[in-house]
Amino acid sequence: MAKFEPKFSITNTIANNLLEIERVKEGIKALPINPKLLNSLRETAKLSTIHYSTQIEGNRLTKEEVKDLISSKKVVSNTGRVRDEKEIKGYYTALDYIEKLAKTKSPITEENVKHIHALVTGGGSTKVKGTEYREGQNVITDSATGNIVYMPPEAKDVADLMKAFVKWINSVNDIPIPIVASIIHYQFVTIHPYFDGNGRTARLLTTLALHKNGYDLKGIYSLEEYYAKDLQGYYEAITIGKSHNYYLGRAEADITKWIEYFINGMAIAFKSVYNKAKEQENSKDEIKVLRELDTKQRQILNLFETQKYVTSKDIANFFKFSPRTARELAKNWVNAGFFVATGEGKQRKYRLDDKFERIL
């Protein structure tokens, strides 16, 4: 089986941006953002991710049209852009899948990869069968000149390369996660295991790896805008090696240049969302109230966005706690003045104290 060993060095630029990423990551954790504002920032980030990632591949829908399509789940126009609309729906469905997958402790598998690609190209359907790797040769050409930009590995080698790649993802433990994510992005598009949808799938896998390892930033950032607004820089950074042929240098190339580009973009995206969150931060009274709460109390506020009362069973399901632990937690919160209990026995339920309900 092929063995994957990426070649790169950590330059001062990479090191400085890694420090900035960690600083902002911790800063976001400390920001007292109420659930309503957090949900708004998440929706904005999700919309940007979908719009810009598909735009990179040539999708013609505007951000407003993407928003309308996602909210209505209907075709937004009769302008002949059905393919564009299917791409948006497919990406939305795939993004929803990786958000759920990121919350599990399971390793990333080839089955995950195939399922993500099937969702990306499935037009919004969730009932898809994982896409098998390509069985023929594909090439990437310059649309303007027709010249070959990149010739990926032959189809007969794809399965082994993907197996080695996924094995590396799940075994690497001595490289900072942002760098791991950059390598995942690079290597997937380098192998180019499909005829279509490789870029979108690569970006989703990158997001999955970051979110699984604590770099989700509460789900309020998007890297795709950075790529889309400088496509020339994106393509130049990911074009590495002396030849366009995978076998003539690309496979063994030093990818430091790409990692510098990726980590810089990640630092920019993190700083941008931090500043945006600060600008839209809650009122001083809300901040004061939120700072009285511990991490679990802030998290449980999300449940009260859609319901006035919760039960100990709701709490157990939310945190994946045992029923006994959930009951004890609810009791402690009542004693602390966070919850107000009503009913007895199996009928017992809890609402937020008025002081905390007001911030929602």
> pLDDT tens across 171-184, in order?
999 999 999 999 99
pLDDT digit string, tens, across residues 21-76? 999 998 887 776 767 777 777 888 899 999 999 999 889 999 888 988 888 756 55
**Is-contact 169 228, C-beta < 8 A?**
no
Domains defined along the chain, listed by start: 12-279 (1.10.3290.10), 284-357 (1.10.10.10)
201 burial level (CB within 10 Å; 0-12, 13-18, 19+)? buried
The share of the chain scoring above pLDDT 90, in percent, equals 53
pLDDT digit string, tens, across residues 246-273? 998 888 899 999 999 999 999 999 998 8
Terminal Cα distance for the chain, rounded = 55
Give the side-chain half-sphere CA count within 13 A for 115. Answer: 13
Distance, CA of 4 to CA of 204 (rounded, Å): 21
Distance, CA of 56 to CA of 233 (rounded, Å): 12
Does residue 262 come out as left (phi exceeding 0), alpha (psi in the -120 to 50 range) or beta? Answer: alpha
CA-nearest of 28, 10, 32 to 180 is 10
Rounded to two decimals, what is the model's pTM?
0.78
Least confident of 30-39, 101-110, 125-134, 280-289: 280-289
Cβ atoms < 10 Å from Cβ of 144: 6
Distance, CA of 81 to CA of 319 (rounded, Å): 42
Distance, CA of 119 to CA of 342 (rounded, Å): 44
- Structure confidence at residue 357 (pLDDT): 81
**Is-contact 76 87, C-beta < 8 A?**
no
- Structure confidence at residue 297 (pLDDT): 87
Backbone angles phi, psi at 231, to 5 degrees: -60, -35
